[in-house]
Amino acid sequence: MTTPRPLICIIDDEERIRGLLLEALEDYEEFELMSAGSGEEGLEMLTRTPAALCIVDMRLPGMSGEMFIVAAAQRALCGKYLLHSGSMDLALSEELKTLGLTEQDVFLKPATTDHMVVRIRQLLGMEAR
């Protein structure tokens, strides 16, 4: 019997970035993937299908990445989070730290997917494949 692959949701308003992340993560063949272009869209999708992990752009139109993470955590729609940002001066807020995010969960664009996958596996308790 095969173990179901964990679902990862990518939340990024830049279609090109979303596409590149989806394409790169598909190559590992160990995750189910979905994506959304806004925090609001992401919450709607996760309400139907919760995810094991969300990769979240911090600068989203409308609802910010931090607002998305807080809302998703309050509703138990996603288990773990990685931050994906182009902002070099990104600092984790106390609220995000309270939700368990650390500096290891912050990836600056353009992030190396290999490093991101190592962290995803750590957070999800997966052995390296």
> In this model, does residue 30 exceed pLDDT 60?
yes
According to the model, what pLDDT value does residue 127 have? 66
According to the model, what pLDDT value does residue 51 have? 97
Name the residue ranges covered by the structural domains of the chain: 7-124
Query: What are the backbone dihedrals phi and psi of residue 82, each rounded to the nearest 5 degrees, phi first?
Result: -120, 140
Name the pLDDT band for 26 (thresholds 50, 70, 90).
very high
Q: What is the mean pLDDT of the chain?
A: 91
Name the pLDDT band for 128 (thresholds 50, 70, 90).
low
The strand ranges marked E within the chain are: 7-11, 32-36, 51-57, 78-85, 106-108
According to the model, what pLDDT value does residue 65 have? 94
Q: List the Cα angle 42/48/54 in 5-degree steps.
A: 40
Residue for token pair 């179901």: 4
According to the model, what pLDDT value does residue 108 have? 85
pTM of the model: 0.92
Architecture of domain 7-124: 3-Layer(aba) Sandwich (3.40)
According to the model, what pLDDT value does residue 11 have? 97
Average pLDDT estimate for 45-50: 97
Segment 65-109, tens digit of pLDDT: 999 999 999 999 999 999 988 777 778 899 999 999 999 999 887
| Residues linked to residue 85 through DSSP beta bridges, in sequence order | 108
